[in-house]
Structure 1
Amino acid sequence: MNPESTATKIPFPAILMILLIGGSFAADSFLRFPVPGTNEPHYLTKARHYWNPQWCADDFFLESSNAHLFFFQTVGAITQVLSLEQTAVLGRIIGFLLLAVGWYRLISVLCTGFWSPLITAWLYLALAAIGNFSGEWIIGGIESKVFAYGFLFLALANACEQNWNRAGIYAGLTITWHPVVGIWALACSLFALLILGFLNRKHIDRAMITGSTKTAIPACGYLILCSLPGLVPSLALLTQGSPQDSFAANFIQVFYRLKHHLDPMDFNLFSYLLYALLLVAWLFLARKQSTSFTIRFFQFFIIGTIGLACIGILIGAGPRPASEMPYYAFRMSLLKFYPFRLFDALLPLAFSVAILHLIQQYLINSATEKPKPAWLTLSLRKAILAVLCLGIFTGTLYSAWNHRPVHKMSPAQRADWIDACEWIRNHTPDDALFLTPAHATDFKWYAQRPEYVTFKDCPQDASGIVEWNRRLKYLRKWGQKYYNKGFDDRALQALQQKTGITHLLVKRLGPFTTIDPIYQNRTYKVYQLP
């Protein structure tokens, strides 16, 4: 036998399509979220600190527990060779290529036609540009969930093809990269299989059960083995902290720090209307799709994500403040596990697949259609579809180019911010501990100095969350106490003794009556405490 005949070869058209999809993801990402983008300062600075604890030593967030340990272990190694900016660019390229591979495999299984994966990718990007349900996104900055969704798509593709061993491997890798995404995906997959088994119960016999069991055992083994690098640290994180800290941390997470992701009463009306419209449209279109195992498994998987979101809404619905809800402690302990995440990310994908099926049936497949005018040839219909899809993608990129920056600063303020951070990096000692503006997100990225606390960088272990909240409350009370009296030596001494802060980077805080700035520009001032 010729060894080459058994080797798996990726045809050039598939490689080209993967590059086009990955390039589309990257174009939207770099235009909509220039480096550093969403969550990149949060993830990549912690990844660098993991490998080099002396970098920004004593930063409260960087020295907290590592929830996404596998990301820090892998991507963090790159930060020791490349700069943070270079790591972000390389990470996005690798992440979007993996995402494109998974996307291509899944859509190729669900849809016919060479261009289907690219068309659905463009439709998905257009829907993502309109809005989301709970703040979930896939195309943005680089973080662990980008890799997780890439492996999830590969797992779904192989599950649809009933390649269970490969599906188990990819599902395990999904959990390793992002346990929340992976565990919920596994639950939805099991739900889909149970529903399919129930619908086909009349055709199930003992031999089929025996064969399925023999297939499931190695697949489960692969899944468990591949999930351990991410699952073990996450389970350990859940067991940390006292019951009192766990209660307080859950409340802070669900109803304060992450309420835009976790509290359904905080989601805006537009999000509900948008996803209700998508859901109704998808349910209507799904009725006309194939009844094959491939399509049915994917559909029931999506229904599983819908069920999770509905359960999340029921758990979170109630009066506010949340403490007035019956059993609110138990309910918020469930909400902290992001029940809306997969529904938010994957319903637009399911809708894109369903609408493509409809377009193909109407424009491409003529056998079941009413007769069309002679001038509306198949080539012309394909050309119309191509122009329409290119127009959608062009409009999406234009919206990305006009997207409001993550930092929400004017160009002049942004220039002043970077200027102040670079001055700090070049003129302050490495062990300086800074108080920064309340909603600064990328101070460590540019200044490379530790911060006492920042709203964005919230730890994910119970005791860390409680301490994070305590530090923010102390700073707020300190500011309120001395605002009318003036920030004199007594105020600065109290701050330094309580926090260990040595330097201040301020925009509006002040005036400081007894010290002068050691640097200032049009927007920001830098102070050194006496």
Structure 2
Amino acid sequence: MNARESSMNKPTPWRLLAEWFLLIALMFVYAGDAPPMVNEAHYLVKAKNFWQPDWCAADLFASSGKAHVFFYWALGWPTQYFSLETTAWIGRIVGWSVLAFGLMRLSHVFSRTGYASIAIAVLWIAGIEYGNLAGEWVVGGIEGKVPAYGFVLAAIAELARRNWNRVWVLLGIASAFHVLTGGWSVIAAMFAWAVTEAGKPKRHPLLTRWLFLGGLISLAGIIPAAQLMMGTSSTDAAQAAKIYSLFRIRHHLLPSDFLTWWYIRHGIVITILICFAIRQRVANRLKEDEEAERRFLAFVGGAGLIAVGGLLIGLLVSIFPDLSARLLRYYWFRLSDAMIPLGMAIVVVGTLSDQDKRWRVAAKSLLVLAFLMVGYASVDRMLQRVPPSVNNRLMGWDMDSDAATKRAVFKDWLAVCNWAALSSPENEVFLTPRHQQTFKWYSGRSEVVNWKDVPQDAISLIEWKKRFQEVFPERLGAIRVTINYKTLRKFREQYNVRYMIVDRRVVGEHLPLLRVYPTESSDNVNYAVYETPK
């Protein structure tokens, strides 16, 4: 393509703005559920405590060490002026905007077709939702990795264009928002540099001031994470790593915990990526496009090799449990879960203009299937009409209940949280049900422990497991709260717990304790509050 043709095909600012808004609209349709999303009650509670340390100060998780300080600083400040729900929407708009910008930059490297980024986004979202290996997601509620992935996408676009200096700076910003997302991306980018620059007579240097500048920026994410492990004994560090990797987060970290179907679906995505990438290589392409795609696929390959490393570490758990647990904490499958579907999306959209009709039909069929998948996932969430973080399906109790039942349970949950907010001082500490993760979000009160809110520093993590096993003992299936008088008295003395909120679907209608809410059982059929024995 000559310079005149390139100038004629250059998108206008208005078209770019329309494309940007369409991408944000797509993300809103797919993930615009009422807050809080799955991790928002986790991240924004922590962010609020970061800005207001006296808020839920007695809560083990909220007051524990802060791993994502840059995210709390950049997107947590609205908690000082707005509700958590409003803060979530502000964060989502910012996060989705950065994601949309990064995806546009990347898509324009490989496609001069107008709005190709929409097709890439749909294929990418569908590939992650239905083809991930370890439960990763990108488009969703706001947390540190959402803007981080936006900067990763922008960095990949510069990588494809061979603007390596910009790559390192953008990945430094990504690392500041989320150290693992950005850090693994740096490793993948270095792999791509080694593969694509090694044989060039005018090789772009790796060790430049821009690489060090990116590293300097990334310290905003690295230092807070590193501080969480400082002053921790090797014994405590090993115990904390096993709690995190082999107990609490094993569904994301431990390969032996992944279902067989997860491997199959991820393998399908990899197969599609390989087949279409090979076709792209043999098709007639412009030389600069070939080089850009080669650099991009090298980055995707680097992400895949990182995942292979995680699989190998997973094989060593029975032989070296302490070492394996420490290494598995670093989410070896996070980047590949996002980048392999992205690679698939890029090569499939690139084949939509293939000269071979069979490949064009195959690409169009995959695109239609992706639209149907994303549409189904979006409509399914809309029909639930409850925030994802309070959905029975996620909470793991009464998972097959219909939408009306879920809404009724959510209504009762809001009622009991409202009672806690209105009937107790701000420094009150509660015992809460096993199947919830939003008590602090809705009530603004501390709790002794919950399953979702696991601290990051070693000492707090060990304390978290001790509390969890005390409150939800294994003899009761780690589901029912204990009602042992001696234990409850200890909780009252140790944690200053006056009230225990119970899920009546789990513990039953009557407990040998003083019920303080509801006064009439019909007022709240799903939740009740009891006073702990003095």
Normalised to the residue count of structure 1, the TM-score between the two structures is 0.86
- Distance in 1 separating the partners of 2:24 and 2:44: 22
The question of 1:273 aligning with 2:269 is answered no
**Alpha-carbon offset, residue 16 of structure 1:** 0.7
SS at match of 1:37: coil
The question of 1:340 aligning with 2:321 is answered no
The question of 1:123 aligning with 2:123 is answered yes
**Alpha-carbon offset, residue 492 of structure 1:** 3.4
Q: Which residue is 1:465 aligned to?
A: 461
SS at match of 1:121: helix
- Distance in 2 separating the partners of 1:310 and 1:453: 35
Q: Which residue is 2:242 aligned to?
A: 251
Q: Which residue is 1:515 aligned to?
A: 514
User: CA separation of 1:144/1:381 partners in 2, compared to 1, >3 Å: closer, same or farther?
Assistant: closer
**Alpha-carbon offset, residue 439 of structure 1:** 2.8
Equivalenced residues, count:
493
Code of the aligned partner of 2:466? R
Q: Which residue is 1:190 aligned to?
A: 190
- Distance in 2 separating the partners of 1:429 and 1:45: 18
User: CA separation of 1:370/1:297 partners in 2, compared to 1, >3 Å: closer, same or farther?
Assistant: closer
- Distance in 1 separating the partners of 2:473 and 2:435: 17
Code of the aligned partner of 1:467? E
- Distance in 1 separating the partners of 2:47 and 2:476: 35
Q: Which residue is 1:442 aligned to?
A: 438
- Distance in 1 separating the partners of 2:371 and 2:136: 25
Normalised to the residue count of structure 2, the TM-score between the two structures is 0.85
User: CA separation of 1:148/1:494 partners in 2, compared to 1, >3 Å: closer, same or farther?
Assistant: same
Q: Which residue is 1:25 aligned to?
A: 27
Q: Which residue is 1:57 aligned to?
A: 57
**Alpha-carbon offset, residue 133 of structure 1:** 1.1
Deviations 1:13-65 (A, max 9, x none): 111101101110121001xx431111111111111111111111211101100
**Alpha-carbon offset, residue 401 of structure 1:** 2.9
Deviations 1:291-340 (A, max 9, x none): 6321111101111111111111121026xxx5xx2222222221110110
The question of 1:83 aligning with 2:83 is answered yes
Matches within 5 A, 1:351-430: 351-361=344-354, 368-369=355-356, 394-402=375-383, 405-409=388-392, 410-430=406-426
- Distance in 2 separating the partners of 1:159 and 1:392: 30
- Distance in 1 separating the partners of 2:346 and 2:209: 31
User: CA separation of 1:413/1:20 partners in 2, compared to 1, >3 Å: closer, same or farther?
Assistant: same
Larger of the two Rg values belongs to structure: 1
**Alpha-carbon offset, residue 145 of structure 1:** 0.3
User: CA separation of 1:238/1:314 partners in 2, compared to 1, >3 Å: closer, same or farther?
Assistant: same
Aligned match of 1:289 in 280, 284, 294? 280
SS at match of 2:208: helix
Matches within 5 A, 1:167-316: 167-198=167-198, 200=199, 203-204=200-201, 208=202, 212-213=204-205, 216-290=207-281, 292-316=290-314
User: CA separation of 1:257/1:487 partners in 2, compared to 1, >3 Å: closer, same or farther?
Assistant: closer
**Alpha-carbon offset, residue 523 of structure 1:** 1.2
* Contact kept? 1:285, 1:358, Cα under 8 Å: yes
The answer to which of 118-127 and 171-180 deviates more is 118-127
The question of 1:150 aligning with 2:150 is answered yes
Q: What percent of counterpart residues are identical? A: 30
* Contact kept? 1:188, 1:302, Cα under 8 Å: yes
User: CA separation of 1:430/1:384 partners in 2, compared to 1, >3 Å: closer, same or farther?
Assistant: closer
* Contact kept? 1:240, 1:462, Cα under 8 Å: no
Q: Which residue is 2:69 aligned to?
A: 69
Code of the aligned partner of 1:243? S
User: CA separation of 1:385/1:60 partners in 2, compared to 1, >3 Å: closer, same or farther?
Assistant: closer
**Alpha-carbon offset, residue 84 of structure 1:** 0.4
- Distance in 1 separating the partners of 2:129 and 2:110: 24
* Contact kept? 2:176, 2:222, Cα under 8 Å: yes
Code of the aligned partner of 1:313? L
SS at match of 2:530: strand
**Alpha-carbon offset, residue 278 of structure 1:** 1.1
* Contact kept? 2:352, 2:364, Cα under 8 Å: no
Deviations 1:186-232 (A, max 9, x none): 0011011111234x2xx42xxx35xx34x852321321232121122
- Distance in 2 separating the partners of 1:139 and 1:356: 20
The answer to which of 445-454 and 117-126 deviates more is 117-126
SS at match of 2:501: strand
The answer to which of 36-45 and 501-510 deviates more is 501-510
Code of the aligned partner of 1:398? V
Q: Which residue is 2:4 aligned to?
A: none
Code of the aligned partner of 2:352? I
Code of the aligned partner of 1:303? G
Matches within 5 A, 1:481-492: 487=483, 490-492=486-488
**Alpha-carbon offset, residue 384 of structure 1:** 10
- Distance in 2 separating the partners of 1:383 and 1:136: 26
